[in-house]
Each structure stands twice: as C-alpha cells, then as structure tokens.
Amino acid sequence: MWGIPLPTSGMHQTDIGYLRDLASRERPAVEWIWQEMDRAWDELALDNKAGLQGQAIGDFYSHPVWIVNGVFSASDPVSIQHRESIAAFASRIGVKRIADYGGGFGELALRIHAAAPQAHIDIVEPYASQLGMLRMEGCSGIRFVEEFDGPYDCVVAQDVLEHVEHPLKLAEQMVLATRPGGYLILANCFYPVVKCHLPSTFYLRHTFTWVVSALGLKYDGCIEGAGHALVFRRRGNINRFMLALFVPIAKLAGPLLNMAIPAIASLRRRLGT
C-alpha cells in the first residue's frame, strides 16, 4: 500500500476490506487521514470531553485507520524526515537502550534501528497489533513490550501525550524509566487537530516545558529537522511539591496563552515586525 508491504496474515478480514480500496488510490493528504480518524471516533460514539473509562477507546485504537496512519507515516516525505531526524539524533548521542512509547506500527523504531543498529529498542505499545509485530520480524534489536523495562538511555514519545487523560502521570512514568542523565524526546501536539486529541491536555500547549521541569527534566531544545520533537535531559529528581504548584498555574495560564500567542503573532505580521 503506497509502496509499503503489508503482510495480510497480520490483519483481520475487516481490516483487509477497509484497506483494499485505499491501496488503489494515491496517498492522500494528511488532512484526509485526520478526517478518517474523526469518522472512526464518531462511529464509536466517543466523547473527548468526558472520562475515557468505560468508552470504547481500545476499539478506536484498534481500528484499521491506524494502519493507514502507519503506512502514511512510512511513505509521506515530511513524516519520513521527522522520523529520520529523530533516528539520527538517537544515533548521534550514542544511546544503547531506547523505549519508543506508543510506537504501534513500528516505523520510528525501524528508522532508529537503521541509524543505530547497536541500539536495543523496546516498543512500549498499549494497543499492540499483530501487523506491527510482524513488521519487526528479523529485527533482533527491536521487541514489543507491554510496559517499560528500564532504565533506558532514551525514551521517545511521538504524538502520544495529547491522547491520554493524564499526560503528566505518563510523562512521570517515562522519566522514571530513564536513567539519570538520559534523554527524553517528546513530540507533542496539544492542538484540536483530531478528536482523539483530548481538550483537557491543551493547557500544556505553551506550558509543557515549564511544567515538566518539576519532573526533573531540563529542556535542551528541539531536534533539527523535527522541530516539534523536544529534547529533555533527566537532570534532577521529581519534585512533587513543585509539580502540585505548577499544574494549577498552567491550567489557568495555558488557555490564556493559547489565545494570546496566536493573536500577538497575527498582530506582528500585520505590523510587519
């Protein structure tokens, strides 16, 4: 599909039927992928403003639209650039053990494996698919695991935290799975691009790097070629007092910043400054 081989033994007949029509088309724009995600979300009658417990979230993340998303990420030039940039960074810093949280289709893990074949990569995937596992066959340095098996030199989470109800609790788990001095690469999208991006996380759009400093993280900048991928180092211990202080401040200031920063940018463009 779009140049990416898909072993049908790793798919249900419903998945194959869903993909068959798409395989004959040209690769769509990413906006079409988002529309399909929203359609699957609505078919399952999910509500992104309510608690996820009791909703069919597992069914949503098992929907074949996520296979489409994975194939898109493996064939789209911009997506390829982002993953290759992250992989090149991982190779450059010489990490030996890496966790790729939410790495589902395995495309990022494969790119890292190609750039840093000496590294051992754990794909920590709550909704692991048989297809993703089949794609990793023959790559002895990659395995799927259900939970972190740290300590890791580097933990990567690309487009993950905006999907979960408690992003800072998950970020804390990632920190604890990283060795002191190790790296975390967190690529977030706290924007209403698709319905599975939970509005309850959007307060972190412009406050995230500040809030996670209470988790002992030092912000080191972003990865060249993947500007949304933020690099942190685990430099200190988790300070729960500061975290309890930062979160309510961020929840108050975050929505205001979300409105103010685009407005200021628009005004500056109009003024030509």
Task: Give a three-class secondary structure readout of 197-213.
Answer: CCHHHHHHCCCHHHHHH
Q: Quick check: 174 and 160 in contact, CB under 8 A? A: no
- What backbone phi and psi angles, to 5 degrees, belong to 32? -65, -40
Question: What residues does 219 pair with on adjacent strands?
Answer: 232
| Length of the chain, in residues | 273
CA–CA gap between residue 142 and residue 124 (Å, rounded): 11
CA–CA gap between residue 181 and residue 249 (Å, rounded): 28
pLDDT of residue 6: 84
CATH number of 1-273: 3.40.50.150
Average pLDDT for runs of 10 along the chain of length 273: 82 84 85 96 97 95 92 93 97 96 92 94 90 84 93 97 97 98 97 98 98 98 96 96 98 97 87 76
Global pTM value: 0.93
CA–CA gap between residue 158 and residue 210 (Å, rounded): 19
What residue type is assigned to position 88 of the chain? A
Domain chopping of the chain, boundaries? 1-273
